Structure 1
Amino acid sequence: MRAIDEYHAELCEAIQRRGKDDTLSKEELEILRDTLKFLDDECERIWLRRALDRLARFRNMFLELDITTIKPTNELTLVRIRWEIEGVRDAIAGDLYESTFVYVPKEKRKYCDKPDLFGRLVIDQFPDAKDDIVEAGNCYAVGAHTACVFHLMRVLEHGLRALAKGLRISFKTKKGTTIPLDLQEWGTIIDKIESKVEEMKNLPKSRQKSKDLQFFSEAVKEFRYFKDGWRNHVMHAQVSYDVYDAAKVMEHVGGFMAHISDRLRG
């Protein structure tokens, strides 16, 4: 509402100085068009229907005209524009009155709409996890803690599949048809990864083997922990989580995803 109130105040001041029947200059028309575009975008973002309809009628008064050649008209007087702006403001107020909004405490604003909640590297390496990372942060910010944990488990799925791909693990039907990893249960993938890690132990000794064995062994243990500690429960509606649970899971998931992002890509 600040933008429309500020513009309304400028109109009132212009009317006092120039009279109510004066018209806008070309530059002032451009400012008006930009103001209406901003208001339209904001109303569209939170779907203020009546305000959008009122803005559409207002824009139709002049936006189809070429701003570079437009001439002042009697219809677009300062008082007429003020009246239209007041109509838009009233429509916005009416829509807002009938809407319900969620309060986000100041200390939790940093979690809202944050695709890089776990760092830039994670989102660069796992771009498909972006939506769930954003939703996890948003749910935490508004106090939907169980939903937050749910989305965090979905973030981990991208890491689990990347871990399986890193070990060249695949699944096939009896007829030899490849089964996509995203159709496999966590437990099935983890079991296969653990078997692969056991096979790695029989490889000839080398520095690379030691690094790989340590990385994949620790990673699959973490996934087993995530699965048994949180994933199974939240996916089967067996438990609800509070703010402390969600914060703990978020910290753990964020740290783990950042760690595996050094080596894996989704």
Structure 2
Amino acid sequence: MRQLAIVNRVGDNDDVDIENIKENLRHLKNVCEQTALPVSVEAITRELYGFANRSSMMSRIVRESLETIHSTVENELATILFLRVSTEYIRYHKDPAPFGQRVADAFPLAIRDIEHGTKALTYGLGTSCVFHMMRVMEMGLKVLAKKLGIPYAPSWESYITQIETKITAKHKTKGIKWKRDEPFFRDVLGSTGREDSMEKPNYAYSPSLRSG
């Protein structure tokens, strides 16, 4: 601590101006609160109380107070593991809706897995990220299947097979609404086998898909 080094340069019985020291301690207390260091916060609060209504104190007393704070903060920090998040991933860690607010509003049940998946990505936990993203995809797949009138299926493969069956049905058997929505459904499934007579997908349009 810089303030401790300054105090060490004066005699034990000399008075030192503590206004600047108190200001720095208040700043340090705020940092400790943000870093969740309750023991250090308590130690700083206690020493600040001792400095209250004083503009100067004997350097020996100030030194003892600062040494107490220094050792307390140092010891408490030793009990905590700090993980560094790469700059390129910070936005994923902080963003409450990394897939956009429209997705969060339409799929509220997926919010928790989206959050955990993106945070797993920031920590380099690829397998965990994929696990949560697969759960998110499953929710979307179920909503898509429901939109197509497909009943519950026990697996992704079963859902996808039934969805593809719907999509590959003869074009003339499909109603007007289906023909309007079909490009979107094909695009969601990543299908490239569009019929020449089929209209191109309009990316600005999507049927109302929501979970819950």
- By how many angstroms is 1:35 displaced? 4.5
Structure 1 CA distance for aligned equivalents of residues 17 and 185 of structure 2: 75
Q: Does residue 210 of structure 2 align to residue 265 of structure 1?
A: yes
2:197 maps to none
- By how many angstroms is 1:213 displaced? 1.8
Q: Does residue 50 of structure 2 align to residue 36 of structure 1?
A: no
Q: Does residue 181 of structure 2 align to residue 212 of structure 1?
A: yes
1:158 maps to 139
Q: TM-score, normalised by structure 1?
A: 0.49
Do the aligned residues in 2 keep the contact of 1:114 with 1:137 (CA within 8 Å)?
A: no
CA deviation map 1:53-84 (0-9, x unaligned) = 23224325668xxxxxxx7159x959666654
Q: Does residue 41 of structure 2 align to residue 55 of structure 1?
A: yes
* Counterparts in 2 of 1:216 and 1:32: CA distance versus 1, 3 Å: same
Structure 2 CA distance for aligned equivalents of residues 122 and 213 of structure 1: 21
Do the aligned residues in 1 keep the contact of 2:4 with 2:63 (CA within 8 Å)?
A: no
Q: Does residue 179 of structure 2 align to residue 186 of structure 1?
A: no
Structure 2 CA distance for aligned equivalents of residues 127 and 156 of structure 1: 13
Structure 2 counterpart of 1:135, one-letter code: H
2:195 maps to none
Aligned-residue Cα RMSD (Å) equals 4.7
- By how many angstroms is 1:199 displaced? 7.7
Gaps of 5+ in 1: 45-50, 64-70, 172-180, 224-257
- By how many angstroms is 1:114 displaced? 3.6
1:129 maps to 110
- By how many angstroms is 1:133 displaced? 2.7
CA deviation map 1:149-189 (0-9, x unaligned) = 11221221232233234346555xxxxxxxxx9xx543454
Question: What SS does structure 2 have at the residue aligned with 1:143?
Answer: coil
1:253 maps to none
Following superposition of structure 1 onto structure 2, how do residues 218-257 of structure 1 map, counting pairs within 5 Å?
A: 218-219=187-188, 221-222=189-190
* Counterparts in 2 of 1:191 and 1:89: CA distance versus 1, 3 Å: farther
Structure 1 segments, 4+ long, off by >6 Å, are: 28-31, 258-262
Question: What SS does structure 2 have at the residue aligned with 1:133?
Answer: helix
Going by fraction, where is helix more abundant, 1 or 2? Answer: 1
Q: TM-score, normalised by structure 2?
A: 0.59
* Counterparts in 2 of 1:59 and 1:212: CA distance versus 1, 3 Å: same
Considering only CA atoms, is the larger Rg found in Structure 1 or Structure 2? 2
Do the aligned residues in 2 keep the contact of 1:117 with 1:137 (CA within 8 Å)?
A: yes
- By how many angstroms is 1:126 displaced? 3.1
Structure 2 counterpart of 1:133, one-letter code: I
2:72 maps to 91
Gaps of 5+ in 2: 192-202
Structure 2 CA distance for aligned equivalents of residues 120 and 198 of structure 1: 33
